[in-house]
Structure 1
Amino acid sequence: MIRRGLALLGALAAFVVGRVLRIRRAHAVRAMRRAGVEDPEATVTAMYRNLGRGLAELLALPPELPLEIVNEATLSAALAPGRGAVLCVAHTGNWDYVACAAAARRPLTVVTKHLSVGVLDRVWQRIRTRRGVRLVAAGSAARAAQRALARGECVAMMIDQAPERTRGTTVAPFLNAPARVDLAPALLALRAGAPLVTVFPRRRADGRHQAVVGVVHTPPPRARSASERAPLHAQPARARSASEGAPLHTQPARARSASEGAPLHAQPARARSASEGAPLHTQPARARREWAVRTLHDVTAELDAFVRANPDQWLWMHRRWKDAPDPAAPLGATPADAT
């Protein structure tokens, strides 16, 4: 009964937004036609209906939030060692319902933007935080997200919005047009040594909710030398002096060179290798960037396939292709300072 009432309320909201106000309806129809979606007019009406229904559900969340996780074994395997994961999600199905339902099962941090209307933003944020969703603002989320991953939690990041910058992005094909894609989810996974997993919300025909788990993308292993992996006590005895283990300033003067104790950047150039100064868990910049670009291309292709299979469940109202390069430009170009 409640589900039926929410569906009717959603249909009313869809009529007002999509038929009366026609908010970005023409934009959505054009994007659907370019992507080859059958009957764009009917599909965009269904999209507005799903959006209205989702809003009604969010405002009337029940105490228990049923959620079916499709391919749950895949996600469980990625999280088995007790580590966290970066979840690449999108505005599909009822994404906020799924976030609240997921947070009831496992700690979840969501990287979020703020709505331009203050009162609406406060209501939206409050609904999610009361359901256990931890929110961090996009643009200043790096440290909080890394701490959450270190605690073995999941961090969800949207991948279907146009970035507000060109740095740290790549260009990938999406629904028959080039789109700029943010590399932040892959770079976060690299820094934390955490798997990156696609999870797309979907509404079933009966109105119930699913979280569809896709591919697990594992970042390259930590680049460490054999001597760095071995503990000091396991190194050959001849490599250790009596003063080893003592703070540098307490060792005999003859055991210290002129440059010892100085910051690394102040030491002679010949004493530094190309990889010094980089965190041990990261690969050289080129390899790191290549993995991030390749992964986000794959993730975007996954979302492309999901949207084509469920065209009424994605938010086509987004200006997803704004600031995208000319369609004739080569896809996959990445700024030199992407990382």
Structure 2
Amino acid sequence: MAQARREAPISLREWLEYAPIALGVRGLRLLPFRWRVPVAGWLASQVVAPVSGMRRRIRDNLDWVCPDLGAAERARLVREVPDNLGRAFIELFSPDDLFRLAGQTPFEGPGLAALEAARAAGRPVVAVSGHFGNYDVFRAGLILRGFDVGALYRPMNNRLFNARYEAAIRATGEPLFPRGRKGNADMVRHLKQGKLLALLIDQHMNRGAELRFFGRPALTAVSAAQLALRYDALLVPIYAIRQPDGRSFRVVVEDPVPRTDQETMTQVLNDSLEARVRANMGQWLWTHRRWKVRRGGMVGDQIMSAGGDGP
């Protein structure tokens, strides 16, 4: 069915969905990068979020895991979350500027030395993050630092947008592995060659392990820990954190996760991401239905997402 859909003519709905995105990106790219980024954030926060249902999704998730959050803080996050999303979106579609930005971004943290040592020794690395800050900044930064970075991603549903999305992430760096049998096989081959694989693990996964995130049950993919255990790879949490100016970043590499079992190691990753999100609440994508569990007798619906386990 997937193959048949790929070969079918582009639908009117796909054209209608894609047209405003294409026009928006084209218009924003007329601006200098220093203005393009904040303008994209403002448009996402003040134009896209109110009409797309994004604000409601953010409030629903905050109600579920942070019920004691004050009204002022809640209102701030309803503005900041889509602002960060808009900024990250246009940064992705500005690959030359993204590389310049990544080249100016400092790398720090207790795991940086272990990461560099693994590269020198030819040991595979699984670098794990979430939809937080801008994960493409650390991916581009690692490439500039000499790492051979591969990344798993989920193709977008809209084929017109997906073509542009794939071109943008390929411009940032390759190889890229689309989720599926072939992509998974290529990903494993890349890792077995002693290279670095970047994964995101902060989306609901139907077949995931029931772990905890923000104190609530959250079905979580254990694939990062599985790969680390199977191929003796270093498992390292890594984050590109947007700075108060809204344009610069710092990349933090945390201590490698100790080798135990896949669920314990994955819970360490969840806890690591939770701590980063709590310190920078506006930089995580609260529009995800991360906690897809029963609420008041009804199962939470899945919302649009960029795709788990990858950029």
Which of the numbers 199, 202, 224 marks the counterpart of 2:238?
A: 199
Q: Equivalent residue for 1:224?
A: none
SS in 2 for 1:216: coil
Q: Equivalent residue for 2:40?
A: 9
SS in 2 for 1:215: coil
Q: Does 1:51 align with 2:21?
A: no
Q: Equivalent residue for 1:133?
A: 174
Would you tell me which structure has more helix in proportion to its own residues? 2
CA distance in 2, matches of 1:326, 1:84: 44
Q: Does 1:98 align with 2:138?
A: yes
Length, aligned pairs only: 253
Maintained 8 Å contact 2:61/2:289:
no
The TM-score normalised by the length of structure 1 is 0.69
Deviation at 1:46, TM superposition (A): 0.5
Deviation at 1:324, TM superposition (A): 7.0
Deviation at 1:219, TM superposition (A): 3.4
Map 1:57-72 to 2 at 5 A: 57-61=91-95, 62=97, 64=100, 65-66=102-103, 67-71=105-109, 72=112
Maintained 8 Å contact 1:89/1:198:
yes
Q: Does 1:88 align with 2:128?
A: yes
CA distance in 1, matches of 2:191, 2:239: 20
Q: Equivalent residue for 1:215?
A: 255
Q: Does 1:320 align with 2:306?
A: no
Shift of the 173–8 alpha-carbon distance from structure 1 to 2, 3 Å rule, reads same
Deviation at 1:189, TM superposition (A): 1.1
Q: Equivalent residue for 2:19?
A: none
Maintained 8 Å contact 1:99/1:133:
no
Q: Equivalent residue for 1:173?
A: 212
Deviation at 1:191, TM superposition (A): 1.5
Q: Deviations over 1:99-138 (max 9, x none)?
A: 2333333111111001111111111111111232311122
Q: Equivalent residue for 1:182?
A: 221
Shift of the 58–95 alpha-carbon distance from structure 1 to 2, 3 Å rule, reads same
Shift of the 43–174 alpha-carbon distance from structure 1 to 2, 3 Å rule, reads same
Q: Equivalent residue for 2:162?
A: 121
Identity within the alignment, %: 26
Deviation at 1:326, TM superposition (A): 10
Shift of the 34–117 alpha-carbon distance from structure 1 to 2, 3 Å rule, reads same
Unaligned runs of 5+ in 1: 221-290, 328-339
Unaligned runs of 5+ in 2: 1-31, 298-311
CA distance in 1, matches of 2:294, 2:167: 34
Larger of the two Rg values belongs to structure: 1
Map 1:128-167 to 2 at 5 A: 128-140=169-181, 141-163=183-205, 165-166=206-207
Q: Which amino acid aligns with 1:135?
A: L
